[in-house]
Amino acid sequence: SSSSSSSSSVNEDDEDFVWRAIREEALRDAAVEPMLSSYLYASILSHETLEQSISFVLANKLADSTLLPTQLMEIFNSVLMAEGEGGRELREALRADILAFKERDPACIGYSHALLLLKGFHALESHRIQHALWTRGQDLMALAMQSRISAVFTLDIHPAARLGKGILIDHGTGVVIGETCVIGDYVSILQGVTLGGTGKATGDRHPKIGPHVLIGAHSTVLGNITIERGSMISAGSLVLKPVPPHTMVAGSPAKVVGKVRNQRPALAMDHHVTPMAPTFCADLEAAVRKQVQEENERWRARDESVRYTVLTADEKRRRRRDRR
């Protein structure tokens, strides 16, 4: 689905709009599906703020026999309602994420749908909470959350990874985001994506993803490389080198195959590109043909050299016979 310009700017003035829309949807859905009315009341309508609601939803999904929902809800709500710049940015990111899911995922039928039912959204907001705990120095709690998030939502994001606002993690299954990864604002990530290290380095070893990047399903980006703004990675690609702005890469290993038509492909979820050269395949065929021809010429020259050596030896033997 196409994205309106409103998705590119979310601030405190939008809080009432997002929360009001969620409550209105919950009231409507409770009337349409009475069997869900208790669920909708407990998850949305009984809460005064979006932060309380998301804390309740996540706490009940991540709770286990040793970490009770009430304990987790208290932790989550305290993080989401924190004072200062960090707390404000976290609340802004939460709302921008809801808008991202609603506007970019065609399967998302409402704001409350994202809040209640989409595990990509749940994992993303859970990560924001665990990242806040990590930055506070609560490493053990953050890592415990990471383990639980991975088990429940089947994707793995290290607590230290830094994610911008307005992120879409569509479906979510199999997504892996490494410790030193940095993701810019308004990025869209599909299922099965790995943003990992090469295994040969320590320290800052994971990708840096610019704003408005679209990362296709089951693609892999390895190493401390930069994927520049507005670029697009085709599904199933293996990216080992930096990607220029507003370009599409594809293949294993990935190569530049075109220029992105839409300057913000992550918002429009637009997979169309303008080819770098209309004769790309013909040019590639010509290059391969030239390489084969050059290789054949080298072999012919080598054969000629061998043949000359053989002829010279035969000539020497003939002359020795003549002298006798």
> Which pLDDT belongs to residue 157?
97
**How much is the mean pLDDT over the chain?**
87
Backbone angles phi, psi at 233, to 5 degrees: -110, 120
**12 pLDDT higher than 50:** no
b/e burial code for range 104-135 (CB count within 10 A of at least 16 → b): bbeebebbbbbbbebbbbbbbbbbbbbbbbbe
- How confident is the model over 298-324, as a mean pLDDT? 70
Structure confidence at residue 98 (pLDDT): 96
Give residue 8's pLDDT. 39
CATH classification of 1-159 is 1.10.3130.10, yes or no?
A: yes
Q: What pLDDT sits at residue 266? A: 65
User: What is the residue extent of each domain of the chain?
Assistant: 1-159, 174-276, 280-324
pTM for the complete prediction?
A: 0.78
pLDDT of residue 311: 64
Domain 1-159 and domain 174-276 have a common topology: no
Per the CB < 8 A criterion, the answer to whether 117 and 136 are in contact is no
Whether residue 253 has a cis bond before it, omega within 30° of 0: yes
DSSP secondary structure letter of residue 210: P
- What pLDDT score was predicted for residue 235? 94
Q: If you count them, how many residues does the chain have?
A: 324
169, 192 contact by CB (below 8 A):
no
User: Hey, which of 7-21, 213-227, 272-286, 309-323 has the most confident mean pLDDT?
Assistant: 213-227
For residue 136, name the pLDDT band (cuts at 50, 70, 90): very high
pLDDT at residue 198, as a whole number: 87
Distances (CA, A) of 203 to 136, 198, 256, 262: 20, 12, 28, 35
What architecture is the 174-276 domain classified under in CATH?
A: 3 Solenoid (2.160)
> What contacts 24+ positions apart, CB below 8 Å, involve 46-54?
49/19, 49/81, 50/15, 50/18, 50/19, 50/22, 50/91, 50/94, 50/95, 51/77, 51/80, 51/81, 51/91, 51/94, 52/77, 53/22, 53/115, 54/80, 54/94, 54/115, 54/125
pLDDT tens, position by position, 24-66: 999 999 999 999 999 999 999 999 999 999 999 999 999 999 9
Question: Mean pLDDT, to the nearest integer, of 168-183?
Answer: 96
pLDDT tens, 70-90?
999 999 999 999 988 889 999
